[in-house]
Amino acid sequence: MIHGEILFCWRDEAKRREFNRCMQRSLHKMIIHDLTLINMKTLLTLFFALWIGLSCFGQEVEFCGSLNTSSEQRFQNAYGVGLQYQQDLNQKFQVGLGIHYNFNDAVFDHIPYLDASPDLIATENIHSTAKRISIRLNIQGLLKNNKNVSLSLGPEISYNFLWGEDQINERMGDNSPGYETLTSNQYNFSQTNDLKKEIGIGLISKLEVKDFIAKPLALCFTIRPELLLGKTELLIGGEQPVFSGVLGFTEFQIGLIYRFKK
């Protein structure tokens, strides 16, 4: 009788979870698709407008590629590209404003929280595509600056857009006494991860090697540790939504700096 009640709870739990996922896909899939197209068009427009502006009035622009580590598994070992404008405030400080795009294709295992019964077990194998657009503002203090190299360190604040989609293979079964070997049930489904907008705070440390190849060019190496301060909230059933809570990121960059004006 107890086993029958557990199976009944499990079926209710599975139906509830599947219903929630269907509702999420219906409400957000079209919105995220349209938003992605808009973001790409906006980025291209901003790129050309920024290039024209920098050519006429700018001081320094940096193009970079990056590798990320993160407490969020969907962004573990993610790649990225970035564009940043930098302006000297005086001989000891400079300000930077940039836009960065991170993307990843990750596979990992996850054990979801189930509240229907302590004897229910579930594992998920997740194939995730995750993306992040980050607008960053920083102030760098020059710790060392001569004709060959410069070393800077300073605080940074960012505004971040995160979204993505998961393909999930879920296996569920019964771990109650006497039924440990019960054949598990398997489900395959997709999950759209809602767009999240989060403030980030962190540090930027940069080493610049000047006159790289040609005089206007410099080679730079940058480390950016930061925390994204998202809201902590729980879904029905006790699970935490994707991209919620505090997320840790560390970004390693290598880039080229082109100086328009002295």
> Please, are residues 111 and 159 in contact by the beta-carbon 8 Å criterion?
no
Residue 8 confidence (pLDDT) above 50: no
Compute φ and ψ for 16, nearest 5 degrees: -65, -45
Q: Would the pTM of this model clear 0.95, i.e. be above it? A: no
Average pLDDT value for residue range 212-219: 86
What share of the chain has pLDDT > 70, as a percent? 65
pLDDT tens-digit series, residues 19-70: 556 655 655 555 555 555 556 667 677 667 666 665 565 588 899 999 999 9
- State the average pLDDT for the chain: 78
Average pLDDT value for residue range 192-206: 91
Spatial distance between the Cα atoms of 8 and 4, rounded to a whole number of angstroms: 6
Compare 262 and 124 and report the one with higher pLDDT. 124
Assign a CATH topology to domain 2-259. Answer: Porin (2.40.160)
Residue 220: CB partners within 8 Å, gap ≥ 6?
Answer: 62, 64, 206, 207, 208, 209, 253, 254, 255, 256, 257
CA 98 → CA 56, 138, 143, 149, 208, distances in Å? Answer: 18, 9, 22, 22, 17
* Runs of H (alpha helix) within the chain: 2-57
pLDDT tens-digit series, residues 122-143: 677 888 999 999 999 999 999 9
The one-character DSSP state at 233 is -
In order, the DSSP letters of 147-162 are SSEEEEEEEEEEEEEE
